[in-house]
A and B are shown apart, each in its own frame.
Chain A
Amino acid sequence: MSGPRYERTRRQDQHLIGFECQACGWVSFPEEKRTCKRCGDAPAEMTEVQLQERGEIQTFVVQQYLPDDIETPQPVAIVDLPQAGEGEPARAYGLLTETDLEEIDVGTEVVARFRELFSDGERPINSFKFSVPREEKA
């Protein structure tokens, strides 16, 4: 699998940029949208917002069975990424990396780390994974 799909949201993927609905405050990430998934406003007025690199785990699992090319155990979380300014966070899936399983819980603070996520067959696809901030590690 390769090609243009990774170019479409490349700026958002690499710079954590979201889009806030001016009618209800919902934040789209990473897609730049013209309709709102929460209030249904269409066309919606969406304003670009910067997301923070520090987020919070809302829930998670630890994957034991995955295709051979994905390392296990693989913790995967739903992470809230707050805006740099005022407003609601964006909510997205995040893979965890460089983190002990014992460090992960609902509410754990995580920081975005720019990593190669996988290869599209020709070149690496880079975006963010998440880990527990280093200074909080014992």
Chain B
Amino acid sequence: MTDPHVVGAGMIDFGELYEQSFDDLLESAYLSLIENVDKGVDPSDIDAAWYGTIDIANEGSSGSAVAHATGLFETPITRVENACATGSDAFRNAAQAVKAGDAEVALVIGAEKMTDSTEGLIASAALERLWRGRGVTMPAYFGMRATRHLEEYETTREQIAEISVKNHENGTKYPHAHQQFECSVEDVKESPTVSYPLNLYDCCPVTDGASAVLVTSEDRAREFTDDPIRVAGYGLASDTFQRGAPEALTNFPATRQASSQAYERAGLGPEDVDVAEVHDCFSITELITYEDLGFCEEGKGGQFVEEGRPHLDGDKPVNPSGGLLSKGHPIGATGVAQIAEIFEQLRGEAGAVQVDEPEVGLQHNIGIGRNATGAVSCVNVLERP
């Protein structure tokens, strides 16, 4: 057993990349990684790969798509699909294989071609299945938590909106972010209603993107860089509101379970986290996640953001990259990109969004599936060795 280490990361500019095909996205992310490994990496060193995509473009994008994009045809490549936790779970699988000693140099690559989809998530959410949320789209699913959180706690509409304001401000300073504009609490409140209580600026945009990271063993890490980042822990869990737990109406028990697994493996707790990239597909999702990750008490997520604690200059910076709200959410790429961002933060390379000398970083996704009845969360914790 060895501790897996991240030794390189590649990222492309997220956006509406009409000129790039799905394969182009993968190729670009892979080349960005290859060119960014401090001491270089020979493609022949890569002995396994994990590929995250939900294949929303419906291109039959199995592991061989990565072989086509990279030339790694003889290498085992596994495609991972796990809703919005796809990219982070691909990373978790690679870290496990390296930890077990079965893979020595593992590529993790995530990509999603969102803008080629003619139907998109709205249509797919309207599947005609009885009692499984016909008409429960993604904003509706998360909006239901907002309605109940506003009712049950002292959470205000303005506190929810502030998360979007914060993340858009961060996004203007992050070069790979899709939506580069600032907005005010009033802008969020006055933007068109998508699914009451959520408005347009509470929602992440539709974005193409890809990202890649390289994971290797402790023994080999310094072949690639003098500044590797250790994978300290990871966790994965599912839940559904159908199980009847009251907290599943306001929060995500899957995140609580996944993070407690990750904290336990790492021997760390929420108080140790210096920077986090979390799943803000909608503003309310980030607010709930503060609570589920243990950054604040249950029901206090609104107060947490109002006090400025998750802001870039706060004591618990969350989504310095601009988060999904600003950066975009190309589903398979999202989790891998968040790992790349935490890697940069822990190495002090995050430029205008660098937080103050972080030692521990956390990455989180929460996804939904099974016609909006299931939730799945993946959490990875990284640490300066």
Q: Which positions in A face B, CB cutoff 8 Å?
A: 1, 5-6, 9, 13, 26-27, 29-30, 37-38, 58-67, 70, 73-74, 76, 78, 88-89, 91-93, 95, 105-106, 117-118, 120, 125, 127
Q: Tell whether B168 is near chain A: CB-to-CB under 8 Å.
A: no
Known: A26-B244, A78-B144. A64 touches B196 (CB 8 A): yes
> Which B residue's beta carbon lies closest to that of A2?
B128
Interfacial chain A residues near B243, Cβ < 8 Å:
26, 37-38
Q: CB within 8 A of B144: which of A59, A65, A67? A: A59
- B128 contacts A65, CB within 8 Å? no
- B140 contacts A91, CB within 8 Å? no
A80 to chain B, nearest CB (A): 9
- B144 contacts A66, CB within 8 Å? no
B13 to chain A, nearest CB (A): 27
> Which A residue's beta carbon lies closest to that of B246?
A58
> Which A residue's beta carbon lies closest to that of B373?
A93
- B143 contacts A37, CB within 8 Å? no
Interfacial chain B residues near A6, Cβ < 8 Å:
130
- A93 contacts B123, CB within 8 Å? no
CA distance A27 to B243 in the complex (A): 8
- B196 contacts A61, CB within 8 Å? yes
Total A-B residue contacts, Cβ distance less than 8 Å = 104
Pick 13 A–B contacts, CB within 8 A, sort by A: A13-B131, A26-B243, A29-B131, A37-B240, A38-B244, A60-B144, A65-B137, A65-B139, A65-B195, A70-B126, A70-B135, A76-B136, A93-B373
Known: A93-B133, A106-B148. A61 touches B197 (CB 8 A): yes
* Extra inter-chain contacts (16) besides given A64-B196, A78-B249, A93-B131, CB under 8 Å: A5-B129, A38-B243, A59-B148, A63-B140, A65-B137, A66-B126, A66-B137, A67-B123, A76-B140, A91-B241, A91-B242, A92-B242, A93-B132, A106-B147, A106-B151, A127-B130
CA distance A92 to B240 in the complex (A): 11
Q: Tell whether B1 is near chain A: CB-to-CB under 8 Å.
A: no
Q: Tell whether B220 is near chain A: CB-to-CB under 8 Å.
A: no
CA distance A67 to B139 in the complex (A): 14
Most A CB contacts (10 A, CB to CB) among B131, B140, B196 go to: B131
Q: Tell whether B2 is near chain A: CB-to-CB under 8 Å.
A: no
Most B CB contacts (10 A, CB to CB) among A73, A78, A105, A127 go to: A78
As a 0/1 sequence over residues 104 to 139 of chain B, the CB contacts with chain A under 8 angstroms (1 = contact) are 000000000000000000110011111111111101
Interfacial chain A residues near B152, Cβ < 8 Å:
106
- A76 contacts B135, CB within 8 Å? yes
Q: Tell whether B352 is near chain A: CB-to-CB under 8 Å.
A: no
> Which A residue's beta carbon lies closest to that of B149?
A59
Q: Tell whether B20 is near chain A: CB-to-CB under 8 Å.
A: no
B97 to chain A, nearest CB (A): 28
A81 to chain B, nearest CB (A): 10
Q: Tell whether B21 is near chain A: CB-to-CB under 8 Å.
A: no
CA distance A89 to B240 in the complex (A): 15
- A64 contacts B130, CB within 8 Å? no
CA distance A1 to B132 in the complex (A): 15
CA distance A74 to B122 in the complex (A): 14
> Which B residue's beta carbon lies closest to that of A39?
B243
CA distance A105 to B134 in the complex (A): 20
